[in-house]
Amino acid sequence: MFSEGLGADESLCQDVQSLSVSKRLVRSVSQKLRKKNNRSAGEEDDDLKGVALRCLTLYSRGGGCKVGADTSDEFSDSNGRRRSSASEEGRGYKPICGPEETAVDCFSYGVRDIFWRRHSRKNSEIEELAANTRMHIFLPDDVLEMCLVRLPLTSLMNARLVCKKWRALTTTPRFLQMRREGSYQNPWLFLFGAVKDGFCSGEIHALDVSMNQWHRIDAEYLRGRFLFSVASIQDDIFIVGGCSSLTSFGRVDRSSFKTHKGVVVFSPLTKSWRKIPSMKYGRSVPILGVSEVSSDFPTCQGHQSRQDRRPRSRIGGVSDVYEDPHKLSMRRHCRSSFNESEASSVTSRRTYKFLRQKSDHSSSKGSRRVLLIAVGGLGSWDEPLDSGEIYDSVSNKWTEIQRLPFDFGVACSGIVCGKMFYVYSETDKLAAYDVERGFWISIQTSPFPPRVLEYYPKLVSSDGRLFMLSVSWCEGDGQIGRRNKAVRKLWELDLMYLTWTEVSVHPDAPMDWNAVFVADKSLIFGIEMFKIFGQVLDFFTVCDVSDMARWHHISRNHVTHELDASSCLTKTVAVLHL
């Protein structure tokens, strides 16, 4: 018994010892983990620097430049930066400026961001991780849902692959609705029109603005196509028109090309493409406007094309009287309405009834109804067009709308704001198409801000307000009275009093006359690309119109350093809230 008692004590001691040993083990393991991460960080330094150098040599073929050296310095700078990933989400979008973690991902989806993520964890987080690596408790489904809904898109895609239950939880319409309404979504910019080595590669570069990560999407459909226009709504991007070379497939060829009527819809969430009916006229760089309307939104088009016929002379033509008298009375109505610039209630009622019947056999998309308007652009012989067409997703076809006002000129920019589609011309005229009533209105505003002639203003609409970005001369430094500096300014049009007021000044010198500006909720994004020092650089800026409209730079990753200079011309951008 005595020996047994001792034995029990001994075993107790041994147990205690083994416990303490295991604690030591845990500590040493976590230390090792930390060291390993540090070492791998060191390795990554070389790896990333190596890649940067590779990019540099690509450019030295084109005529080596120092700018490449700058970008590699950026990489090494950000290597030294660490950032906690806690509490950055769920606050909505904040302008990113100052030291930030950057992740370049030109070549494959997410390869490099792995390095960045591993690298950026603070030591304390690693320790914490070693301590609570296991959720022993089973989380109830509703709690799990509430946590998953807060994930940004890339993590959500990830979570869907974890297990079948998580996939089921995150793909219900209710979940997606909760995600949309709870402002857990962030803006994503999609850059189209990349030209590499002379070929329209059909690559789409997507920027996840909140995580500052680039992803690349290959689009077979867009190979060889250039000078198309894009418009985005909800989860879809419409890609309209464009040209493709006839002689040498894939190249940007302005000498022998075909202009397309085709329209295709790209949905980034599902990476799916679908075709919708083609337009009536082939257009390149059409001015697009897109809006979502209710399923019983009254639209008045279809018979408008009759107005387009200029008044025919009675001599030599078949007299109108011998035509269908009903058609005659309709035309009389239309012409009078054209003159009064107000559609008569009779015709609008008739058309309204007509469309209401149609909507009874509506598409399976439920109550979501999208109207896409395409006006202007260049036709098959590069001639500027003044015709316009509207696509209704419910009837799934294009109908021609009234042409642009007679003395309007060439449309250079357009945007939908409220129920009007505003279009700006190269000769500084503003017109709006009333989508509901189906006619153009010339808008007389206070004098437009005087601008530099080569830079056509761009219209943007955010939060129901109408803005314009225009480049004008202003006083240079140190020389009062002499206008020798060009600056891009953001103007707002007061829709009630039709006056232009300056809102803010863009910080960058306007080097890109084909700069693209797109708006998402209350943010306006500016995308400029130009070739400088033998390299194509891109500059992304953003401003928040609900908060001082100060411009910030985002994404200094220069994803375009492998693209041709003609990408600056062919580029076009769409923004989605995903």
Partner 1 sequence: MELLCIRQWISGLLPTWLSAWCIKPVGGALVRQEPEYILLALMGSPLKKIMLCSSEKEIFSVEEQVMVQHSVIINNMIEDGSYNHEESKIPLDCVDSKTLKKVIDYCTHHTHHHNDNQEDLEAWDAQFLNVDSNGLYDLLMAANYLEIRNLLDLIYGTIKNMIKGKKIDEIRRIFNIKDHGFTPEEEEQNRKEYPHFY
Order of all β-strands in the sheet with 458-462: 458-462, 465-475, 483-493, 500-505
User: Hey, how many other C-beta atoms are within 10 angstroms of the C-beta on 4?
Assistant: 8
Residue 223 to residue 349: CA distance in whole angstroms: 45
Residue range at the interface with partner 1 (CB under 8 A); choices 65-73, 137-145, 227-235, 304-312: 137-145
* CB of residue 182 to partner 1, shortest distance in Å: 10
- Residue 273: both structure tokens together: 């493409």
Count, residues near partner 1 per rule CB under 8 A: 38
372 sits in which H/E element: strand 369-375
**Is 410 a binder of partner 1 (CB under 8 A)?**
no
φ/ψ (deg, to 5) at 77: -60, -50
**Is 315 a binder of partner 1 (CB under 8 A)?**
no
**Is 325 a binder of partner 1 (CB under 8 A)?**
no
Positive or negative CA dihedral for 239, 202, 425, 461? positive
Compute and round to an integer the Cα radius of gyration of the chain. 29
Tell me how many degrees the CA angle 97-542-284 measures, rounded to the nearest 5.
Answer: 140
Residue 243 to residue 569: CA distance in whole angstroms: 13
* CB of residue 256 to partner 1, shortest distance in Å: 39
φ/ψ (deg, to 5) at 420: -120, 145
**One of 63, 80, 133, 366 touching partner 1 (CB under 8 A):** 133
Residue range at the interface with partner 1 (CB under 8 A); choices 145-153, 218-226, 261-269, 441-449: 145-153
- 175: DSSP letter: H
* CB of residue 93 to partner 1, shortest distance in Å: 16
Nearer Cβ to partner 1 (111/498): 111
Which residues on adjacent β-strands are paired with residue 528?
539
Residue range at the interface with partner 1 (CB under 8 A); choices 75-83, 150-158, 200-208, 290-298: 150-158
- Residue 182: both structure tokens together: 């709870």
**Is 148 a binder of partner 1 (CB under 8 A)?**
yes
**Is 174 a binder of partner 1 (CB under 8 A)?**
no
**One of 165, 309, 349, 482 touching partner 1 (CB under 8 A):** 165
* CB of residue 550 to partner 1, shortest distance in Å: 20
Nearer Cβ to partner 1 (137/453): 137
Task: Please answer whether residues 187 and 575 qualify as being in contact, where contact means their C-beta atoms are separated by less than 8 angstroms.
Answer: yes
Name, in order, each residue with C-beta under 8 angstroms of 319's C-beta and a sequence gap of 6 or more. none
- 131: DSSP letter: H
Task: Please answer whether residues 238 and 232 qualify as being in contact, where contact means their C-beta atoms are separated by less than 8 angstroms.
Answer: yes
**Is 480 a binder of partner 1 (CB under 8 A)?**
no
* CB of residue 271 to partner 1, shortest distance in Å: 11
* CB of residue 119 to partner 1, shortest distance in Å: 12
Nearer Cβ to partner 1 (66/167): 167
- Residue 509: both structure tokens together: 């010198």
Contact flags string 59-98 toward partner 1, x per CB under 8 A: --------------------------xxx-xx--------
Residue 302 to residue 376: CA distance in whole angstroms: 18
**Is 162 a binder of partner 1 (CB under 8 A)?**
yes
**One of 1, 161, 318, 480 touching partner 1 (CB under 8 A):** 161
Residue 178 to residue 467: CA distance in whole angstroms: 31
* CB of residue 179 to partner 1, shortest distance in Å: 12
φ/ψ (deg, to 5) at 85: -90, 0
Residue 259 to residue 382: CA distance in whole angstroms: 9
Nearer Cβ to partner 1 (129/505): 129
- The amino acid at residue 121 is R
**Is 163 a binder of partner 1 (CB under 8 A)?**
yes
**One of 21, 139, 246, 498 touching partner 1 (CB under 8 A):** 139
**Is 137 a binder of partner 1 (CB under 8 A)?**
yes
**Is 111 a binder of partner 1 (CB under 8 A)?**
yes
* CB of residue 236 to partner 1, shortest distance in Å: 23
Residue range at the interface with partner 1 (CB under 8 A); choices 125-133, 467-475, 491-499, 524-532: 125-133
Nearer Cβ to partner 1 (162/474): 162
- Residue 552: both structure tokens together: 């910030």
* CB of residue 120 to partner 1, shortest distance in Å: 9
Task: Please answer whether residues 401 and 388 qualify as being in contact, where contact means their C-beta atoms are separated by less than 8 angstroms.
Answer: yes
Residues binding partner 1 (CB under 8 A): 85-87, 89-90, 108-111, 113-114, 117, 128, 131-139, 143, 146-148, 150-152, 155, 157-159, 161-165
